[in-house]
Amino acid sequence: MGKYTTVRISVEDRVKLKRIAKLIGAKSLAEALRYALAIAEKEVEKQSGDLGSVISSLKYAKDIGVTNAEEVDKYIYGEE
């Protein structure tokens, strides 16, 4: 495998890690942690988009005044 180190986590996180280990059928907490890290890595990569395109889209934004969040569909898609 490789070199090892000790990682300190809270008791609550250890309980969560044990639960993940049980759900995935991991033989050890280290295996469960590797699994959780792999999933987290994929999620972070999925979320890292092009911030420039988001910022450039703001140039088309306009003030629509005071709105009611319950009517968000009407604001986005128009009256039905």
The pTM (predicted TM-score) of the whole model is 0.55
Q: Is the pLDDT of residue 12 over 90?
A: yes
pLDDT digits (tens, 9 = 90+) for 20-37: 999 999 999 999 999 999
In 3D space, the residue among 75, 66, 2, 77 whose CA is nearest the CA of residue 34 turns out to be: 2
Question: What HEC string does the chain produce?
Answer: CCCCCCCCCCHHHHHHHHHHHHHHCCCCHHHHHHHHHHHHHHHHHHHCCCHHHHHHHHHHCCCCCCCCHHHHHHHHHCCC
| Average pLDDT score over residue span 61-68 | 75
Domain boundaries, the chain: 1-61
- 1, pLDDT greater than 70: no
